[in-house]
Amino acid sequence: MIRSCIDQFDIEAVRRALGSNAGVIAEVVPDIEAVVPDLKPPTAPGDPDSGRFRLYDAFDTFLDVISREHPIVLILDDLHWADEASLRLLEFVVQEQIDSRILLPGTYRDTDITNDHSLFHTLGDLARSRLFSRVTLGGLDVEGVSKIIEVQTGANIQQDVSVAIHAQSEGNPLFVGEMARSLNQEGLLTGDTSIDLNSLKQRHPEGIREVVGRRLSRLSAYAKDVLTIAAFLGREFSLGQLSAISTEQSSDELIEVLGEALSARLIEELPSEAGGYQFTHTLIQQALREEL
């Protein structure tokens, strides 16, 4: 972020924003040494907590000063991959910059966030801010699927192909991209090549299998076994069906396992049926079936 300010803003404005904190920030952003001549290293902090607070405060002050001259939109992508120190810095800045001209949109995959994930706790803390807002993004529609394929491959595909890919991917942008890449590599998106629409239902590109596989790998072995049984029951299944098949496990044990899968966003409860569940994506169900 500071590197972007150095590249885009007037150097004098950047120097003013850095002020006496230039040496502190330069410890993690060495580019500052080229902006501030005769930079002197800061005194050593008394303890790690003091050093961390000094760094957070330096970043916060920089943002506060620079945003007075230039409103800032700071996009934080893939927050599910952020380390704990970065998330603590985000919390600090949000708390301190309530009245500043800074917009902080962040994105994350909720399928990667469990109750013990650092971001889960950060989101809980941020939700206390009066300016915090959460926007849930749904799947793409057919038109959106066509647009992604056109942008990624340059192909202007027929409507029935877009509809088929949309049905298989359920509008998941990542899955759409992987399917488009796979089809394009095989030369199936060229204008003079026809696609067997029925075969798309059986197409699971390697990238999709890897994504689903990573999510399944976070489950305990027992939970994965139970979900594999559920996968053969269908996209939708019930606790009663699992209890009838898994006779060695009690209902309480099965509920605990299903809770693990719910936290991982692999399944979701059916609001219309008590004890009913469904896989959040048909590709998860298919991956479990194929692994057996």
Least confidently predicted of 179-193, 195-209, 249-263, 266-280: 195-209
CA pair distance 198, 147, nearest whole angstrom:
22
Interhelix angle 173-185/142-153, nearest 10 degrees: 50
CA pair distance 182, 142, nearest whole angstrom:
19
In the chain, the percentage of residues whose pLDDT exceeds 70 is 95
Among residues 199, 210, 192, 181, which one has the least CA distance to residue 283?
A: 210
pLDDT the model gives residue 203: 67
pLDDT band at 193 (very low <50, low <70, confident <90, very high): low
Distance (Å) of CA 214 to CA 145, 174, 229: 24, 14, 19
pLDDT the model gives residue 233: 94
Find the mean pLDDT for residues 2-21: 80
Classified as helix, coil or strand, 248 is coil
Contact status, residue 186 vs residue 203, Cβ threshold 8 Å: no
Among residues 223, 255, 257, which one has the least CA distance to residue 239?
A: 255
pLDDT the model gives residue 8: 79
Distance (Å) of CA 81 to CA 63, 119, 122, 127, 236: 23, 9, 13, 20, 31
Query: Which of 272-284 are b and which e, b meaning 16 or more Cβ less than 10 Å from the residue's Cβ?
Result: eeebbbbbbbebb
Task: Indicate whether 202 pLDDT > 70.
Answer: no
Least confidently predicted of 19-23, 141-145, 192-196, 211-215: 192-196
pLDDT in tens, 46-83: 788 888 888 889 888 888 888 888 888 989 999 999 99
In the chain, the percentage of residues whose pLDDT exceeds 90 is 25
Longest pairwise C-alpha distance within the chain: 75
Strand partners, 237: 277
Task: Indicate whether 199 pLDDT > 70.
Answer: no
Q: Provide DSSP, 252-268.
A: HHHHHHHHHHHHTTSEE
Q: How far does CA 108 lie from the centroid of its chain?
A: 3
Q: Provide DSSP, 195-212.
A: --GGGGGG---HHHHHHH
CA pair distance 32, 124, nearest whole angstrom:
34
Strand partners, 76: 106
Instruction: Kindly report the average pLDDT of the chain as a whole number.
Output: 85
pLDDT the model gives residue 191: 60
pLDDT the model gives residue 96: 86
pLDDT in tens, 229-288: 999 999 999 999 999 998 788 888 999 999 989 988 899 999 888 889 999 888 889 889
Residue with more model confidence, 258 or 15? 258
Task: Indicate whether 192 pLDDT > 80.
Answer: no
Among residues 120, 61, 126, which one has the least CA distance to residue 91?
A: 126
Domains and CATH numbers, the chain: 2-126 (no CATH), 142-203 (no CATH), 212-291 (1.10.10.10)
Distance (Å) of CA 2 to CA 72, 145, 219: 11, 35, 39
pLDDT the model gives residue 110: 82
Q: What is the DSSP letter of 43?
A: P
pLDDT the model gives residue 267: 92
pLDDT in tens, 127-165: 888 888 999 888 899 999 999 888 888 888 888 888 888
Least confidently predicted of 98-112, 141-155, 157-171, 185-199: 185-199
For strands 102-103 and 72-73, give the pairing.
Answer: parallel
